[in-house]
Structure 1
Amino acid sequence: MKRCPDCCRIYDHRAAVCQVDGTTLDDLNADPLVGQTISKRYRVVRKLGGGSLGPVYLAEELATGNNVAVKFLLKELHWDAELVKQCWWDARFATASNPSSIVRVYEVDRTDEGRVFIVMECLEGESLAELLRLEGVLELGPALRLASQIANSLAAAFKAGVTHRNLKPHDIMIVGPDHRIKLTGFGVARFRETASGVAQAGLIAPEYTAPEQLKGDNVADRADIYTLGAVLYAMLTGSAPSTAARQGAEEAGDLRAAPAPLRRMRPEIPAALEQFVMRAIEPRPEDRQNGMEQCLETLRNLTKSVVAGTATDVRSVIAWSHSLLSP
């Protein structure tokens, strides 16, 4: 059986496109989750994509008819009822702290077969990872605006008692006509931390992860400060800081290779911005900024000084990147 993803008409396996709108049909037989009803509440419509923790699907909430996104966590991840509860509370507290910039999580539960799933709001937009893939690097103004929004979200979450601990460009969505950011993935780091060996190595992005976290130490908001600095470094240079973490999480106890200074690659970067980023990605947490609030204040001041001389904004960058895909 096949289904049109737009109008949901059903066709037999020989059809290729919808007779009504010409849309390519989804093969319902290709994915056992498509077409299923999860926990008697959500009907899985089609696969949206995949990630290190598991695939994400578009689903319909049966009670309301609203679209939601459902992430099914990998079966290899170990969990128990308490872990599911902690993930759910992390996600709820993070969302409540700043609902406009953190993806809303509606539910964390298990299927009848015991597989953990997370129900989230369904977003239309693109990730920072996709924007960087198209652009390579961002201009200073757009990069600082995005970084300020990220810092604001992380600061609000920390005030609510939640750290992200697993943020990377794929978790930063750019949505809406005003191109605001929304962060995903709060709470799921708890599942990542239960994995071990090869499974865990595939679930982390070591180039965006603080050294103390890779070593298994207790982490606070300074781990998220490292991630913020690494993400901003990537926006300005096109790649994350080069560190020894790329050689494997098991080597996290070694000294990290010092990343190249920003101004060596982009001389137009102000010295104050370089100083901020390089301090944020210091290997020792005590050498980083004192807290996310301090980072936010610094980023806002940097944005004011940098943007004063340019009209470039996030909207123009995204419009340009979209034009690269136009026929």
Structure 2
Amino acid sequence: MIGHVVGKYRLLDQLGEGGMGTVYRAEHVVLGSPAAVKVLLPQFTQDRVVVDRFFQEARTASAIRHPGIVEVFDYGRLPSGQAYIAMELLRGEDLSGFLSRRGKLDVSLAAQIAIQMLGALNATHAVGVIHRDLKPDNIFVVRDPGAPGGIRIKILDFGIAKLINAPPGPHVPGRPKTKDMILGTPAYMAPEQCRGGTPLDARADLYAVGCILFELLTGRPPFIAGGDGEVMAMHIYEPPPRLSNLEPQLPVELDALLAKLLTKDPADRIPSAAYALATLERAPIDPLVGEVALSGAHAVLGAAPAAAPAAAPAPEPSSRWFPGVVIGAALVIAVAIAVAIGAT
């Protein structure tokens, strides 16, 4: 497809390929502006659930106008019927890679990343959207000279995002009903998300922020176990570890904030991203100074649409079976990214 025009964009070269689609570097045919275009493979064109989720990502992201959300330019179908999305071409690295290089982060850097996440989430929740799969893989770090540390985070992958209070779509025969499915990534899922069967709200995203911030500060997620089901059971049944026990030198305000973000009962959790943001900004943490280094060592990577759904076991020791569990990137159509960071 190199050289073909998709919508308003000419495909220049391939950035990556996955089990469900291909990602291309592209440019606008008139303006010459760069973009990333991801194209769903032909065999998924007739799968309404996959295509709906693919387009949902585009519609959801385009509804949120915030520098911390990846920008979608266009979406549609090719004459062949294949679905495509044209979006912002990002240069940087995902937070998973950033963490693997650095280990646990300095408190000023961790706080700045969390502040930016909460700001973007506040804009997301304000338009009635919950993400439902926040994790380091879905947070991208790019260069922004105007931001503290010269970095900006971008929240990606709205493929399983949900409009709050939106009516459910039509049920497709042979597919699990949405209420019977558990969507997300176990290490970062709220207890109510792990249980399944109940509507989620913005507080599920805030629990995920708590898990991510805990990992930024300690180098590990709150719960670690041998399997996904065990991790989900820990979210439901086990109290989270206290930051003060692992990193006693950090401000007590951070320990208190994390305890409230990781509360089991959503009714007792911090109620909004704006509230958590204000709490974090009041904590006695030194401002981030100097420019944070981003990796330019890896090869070009296009995070292509993910492979087919994978099932995860139900959490134990619960005696209930949760049918239709879908984990992580299994149903998420990953955002198109070109990682070729150097000096911007």
TM above 0.5, yes or no, is yes
For 1:61, the equivalent position in structure 2 comes to 28
Please give the residue correspondences for 1:211-250 in structure 2 after superposition, counting only pairs within 5 Å.
Answer: 211-214=191-194, 215-242=196-223, 246-248=227-229
Once the two structures are TM-superposed, the CA of residue 80 in structure 1 deviates from its matched residue by 7.4
For 1:181, the equivalent position in structure 2 comes to 153
- Cα separation, partners in 2 of 1:91 and 1:53, compared to 1, 3 Å: farther
Separation (CA, whole Å) in 1 of partners of 2:19 and 2:240: 25
Would you say 1:160 and 2:127 are equivalent positions? yes
Q: Which runs of 5+ in 2 are unaligned?
A: 163-168, 298-340
Would you say 1:89 and 2:56 are equivalent positions? no
Q: Is 2:263–2:269's contact at 8 Å kept on the other side of the alignment? A: yes
Separation (CA, whole Å) in 2 of partners of 1:231 and 1:253: 16
For 2:291, the equivalent position in structure 1 comes to 315
Please give the residue correspondences for 1:76-155 in structure 2 after superposition, counting only pairs within 5 Å.
Answer: 78-79=48-49, 86-94=56-64, 96=65, 98=66, 100-155=67-122
Once the two structures are TM-superposed, the CA of residue 154 in structure 1 deviates from its matched residue by 0.4
Once the two structures are TM-superposed, the CA of residue 118 in structure 1 deviates from its matched residue by 2.1
Once the two structures are TM-superposed, the CA of residue 54 in structure 1 deviates from its matched residue by 5.4
Once the two structures are TM-superposed, the CA of residue 50 in structure 1 deviates from its matched residue by 6.1
Total equivalences in the alignment: 279
Separation (CA, whole Å) in 2 of partners of 1:217 and 1:315: 43
Query: Match of 2:68, as an amino acid?
Result: S
- Cα separation, partners in 2 of 1:90 and 1:138, compared to 1, 3 Å: same
Q: Which has the larger radius of gyration?
A: 1
Query: Match of 1:119, as an amino acid?
Result: A
For 1:207, the equivalent position in structure 2 comes to 187
Q: Is 1:243–1:258's contact at 8 Å kept on the other side of the alignment? A: no
Separation (CA, whole Å) in 2 of partners of 1:52 and 1:277: 37
Q: Is 2:15–2:23's contact at 8 Å kept on the other side of the alignment? A: yes
- Cα separation, partners in 2 of 1:299 and 1:85, compared to 1, 3 Å: same
User: 3-state DSSP class of the match of 1:71?
Assistant: strand
Separation (CA, whole Å) in 2 of partners of 1:219 and 1:245: 26
Separation (CA, whole Å) in 1 of partners of 2:90 and 2:13: 15
Separation (CA, whole Å) in 2 of partners of 1:131 and 1:171: 12
Deviations 1:122-144 (A, max 9, x none): 11222211210100110111101
For 2:285, the equivalent position in structure 1 comes to 306
Once the two structures are TM-superposed, the CA of residue 307 in structure 1 deviates from its matched residue by 0.9
Separation (CA, whole Å) in 2 of partners of 1:258 and 1:52: 37
Q: Is 2:61–2:69's contact at 8 Å kept on the other side of the alignment? A: no
- Cα separation, partners in 2 of 1:246 and 1:120, compared to 1, 3 Å: farther
- Cα separation, partners in 2 of 1:154 and 1:268, compared to 1, 3 Å: same
- Cα separation, partners in 2 of 1:322 and 1:262, compared to 1, 3 Å: farther
Q: Is 1:91–1:187's contact at 8 Å kept on the other side of the alignment? A: no
Deviations 1:29-74 (A, max 9, x none): xxxxx51625453333334346797553322232332221123457
Separation (CA, whole Å) in 2 of partners of 1:52 and 1:236: 34
Separation (CA, whole Å) in 1 of partners of 2:17 and 2:190: 24
Would you say 1:294 and 2:266 are equivalent positions? no
Name the TM-score, length of structure 1 as normaliser.
0.71
Q: Is 1:201–1:248's contact at 8 Å kept on the other side of the alignment? A: no
For 1:14, the equivalent position in structure 2 comes to none
Separation (CA, whole Å) in 2 of partners of 1:314 and 1:129: 22
User: 3-state DSSP class of the match of 2:35?
Assistant: strand
Q: Which runs of 5+ in 1 are unaligned?
A: 1-33
Separation (CA, whole Å) in 2 of partners of 1:57 and 1:209: 31
User: 3-state DSSP class of the match of 1:236?
Assistant: helix
Query: Match of 2:153, as an amino acid?
Result: I
Once the two structures are TM-superposed, the CA of residue 187 in structure 1 deviates from its matched residue by 4.8
Residue range with higher mean Cα deviation, 127-136 or 236-245: 236-245
What is the Cα-based RMSD across aligned positions, in Å? 3.8
User: 3-state DSSP class of the match of 1:146?
Assistant: helix
Deviations 1:256-292 (A, max 9, x none): 4333222222121222211211221223212210111
Once the two structures are TM-superposed, the CA of residue 238 in structure 1 deviates from its matched residue by 1.5
Separation (CA, whole Å) in 2 of partners of 1:47 and 1:248: 36
- Cα separation, partners in 2 of 1:80 and 1:244, compared to 1, 3 Å: same
Deviations 1:171-222 (A, max 9, x none): 22222232122222235546xx99869xx99984221122323414211110
Name the TM-score, length of structure 2 as normaliser.
0.68
Separation (CA, whole Å) in 2 of partners of 1:226 and 1:235: 14
| Structure with greater helix percent | 1
Q: Is 1:207–1:246's contact at 8 Å kept on the other side of the alignment? A: no
User: 3-state DSSP class of the match of 2:141?
Assistant: strand
- Cα separation, partners in 2 of 1:265 and 1:253, compared to 1, 3 Å: closer
